[in-house]
């Protein structure tokens, strides 16, 4: 399970880097490319669903695309950490039994 958590963290990292790169590339033009942001939010689901309520509460902070990408990445990394800790706890229980 720990290897799955590490793989998940790498996937979140790659999606976050891609989303940040694309957002930086399309910063000044009048068009957007939402696929990397949506993919990152999908990967970091269910915690990334908190972006909507946070935007409603603090639109000046979460109105920025980079803040939304950072929050979605933080959600994904937190979930990966929780998965890693659950795997560690599971391994300890199996070795104790």
pLDDT (tens digit per residue) in 44-79: 999 888 888 988 998 888 888 888 899 999 999 999
As for how many domains the chain has, the answer is 1
* Exposure string over 22-61, b if 16+ CB within 10 A, otherwise e: bbeeeeeeeeeeeebbeebbebbeebbeebeeebeeeeee
Mean pLDDT of the chain: 88
Model confidence band, residue 90 (pLDDT cutoffs 50, 70, 90): confident
Q: What is the pLDDT of residue 82?
A: 94
What domain range includes position 62? 2-96
């Amino acid at each position: 399970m720990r290897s799955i958590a590490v793989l998940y963290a790498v996937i979140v990292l790659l999606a976050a880097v891609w989303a940040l790169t694309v957002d930086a590339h399309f910063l000044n033009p009048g068009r957007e490319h939402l696929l990397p942001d949506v993919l990152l939010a999908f990967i970091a689901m269910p915690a990334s669903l908190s972006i909507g309520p946070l935007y409603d509460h603090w639109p000046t902070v979460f109105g920025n695309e980079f803040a939304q990408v950072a929050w979605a990445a933080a959600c994904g990394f937190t979930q990966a950490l929780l998965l890693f800790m659950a795997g560690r706890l599971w391994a300890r229980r199996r070795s104790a039994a």
